Amino acid sequence: MKVVNNKSFPELPVTIHINPDRCDGCGICKDVCPVEALNVINSARRPGKKLIVVDPQLCHGCGVCQATCPKEAIALPGLGPDEMREYIALAIAG
C-alpha cells in the first residue's frame, strides 16, 4: 500500500465550504481531518439530520475532507472535484 505524503495536497490559505443541502453528516470527513477542524452537529434546517461544520480557525485548506466526501458536499474555493482527483492521482502515482 502506498502512503500519500503531506506534500501531495496543496496547503491553501482558504477554508472549506460545506453545502448543507448535500451534506448528510456522515462524518467521514471528520474522521480524516488532520487538524480536527470538523464537527458533526444536529441540522437546524433538517430536524433529525446531522451536518458537518468547520472551525475556520483550525482549517488549513488541505483538501483531504473534500477528497473523501461521498456526497461532494465539501469545496475549497479554487479547487474543484476535478482538480482534487488530479492531485490524488498524482499523489498515488508517486
Q: How many domains does the chain have?
A: 1
What 3 state SS string does the chain have? CCCCCCCCCCCCCCCCEECCCCCCCCCHHHHHCCCCCEEEEECCCCCCCEEEEECCCCCCCCCHHHHHCCCCCEEECCECHHHHHHHHHHHHHC
The whole-number pLDDT of residue 80 equals 73
In a domain, 37, yes or no: yes
- Please list the pLDDT of the chain residue by residue as tens digits (94 residues): 344 455 555 555 678 899 999 999 999 999 999 999 999 999 988 899 999 999 999 998 888 898 899 999 998 887 777 777 777 777 777 6
* CATH classification at residue 25: 3.30.70.20
In a domain, 8, yes or no: no
State which residues form the domain around 77. Answer: 17-93
Is this prediction's pTM over 0.95? no
